[in-house]
Amino acid sequence: MSTIVHMAAQTDWERAQAEGSYQVGSLQTEGFIHFSTPVQVARVANAIYAGRTDLVLLVVDEAKLSAELKYEPPAGTYSPSDELFPHLYGPLNLDAVERVVPYLPDADGAFAPPVL
């Protein structure tokens, strides 16, 4: 199994379960849902979500995805610019989510690499 991870607000995950698929604003505005590899998660969390206490990690099996997945460079000025990130070009089907892991920062607001 090849695993990718999406950081989600707990409320967004709860809404997805009620609606039957996971969709976020980036799907409409950018055309895809942002994912990370397990190695990238903490760095991305610290760059974008430092201090947030409402996050969960959606641990996803790439082989079970219904929508197209592409590994692409990050948008904007995120560094390193030659690093590739997984982008899902459609809603996330819930049966691809293998598990959901609470993701809380340390006391100083920083995220450690997750244990998946």
Q: What is the pLDDT of residues 4-33, one digit of tens each?
A: 999 999 999 999 999 999 999 999 999 999
3-state secondary structure 45-69: HHHHCCCCCCEEEEEEEHHHCCCEE
Q: Among the residues of the chain, which ranges form H helices?
A: 10-19, 25-29, 41-48
Q: What is the CATH number of the domain that holds 78?
A: 3.20.170.20
Q: Is residue 111 part of a domain?
A: no
Check residue 112 and give its pLDDT.
96
C-alpha span between 1 and 17 (Å, rounded): 23
- Residue 83 covered by a domain: yes
The distance in angstroms from the start CA to the end CA of the chain is 13
pLDDT given at position 77: 58
Q: Is residue 116 part of a domain?
A: no
Residue 74 confidence (pLDDT): 83
CA angle 73, 77, 83 (to 5 degrees): 30
Domain count, the chain: 1
What is residue 51's predicted lDDT score, i.e. its pLDDT? 92
pLDDT along the chain (116 residues), means of 10: 94 96 94 96 94 97 98 72 90 98 96 93
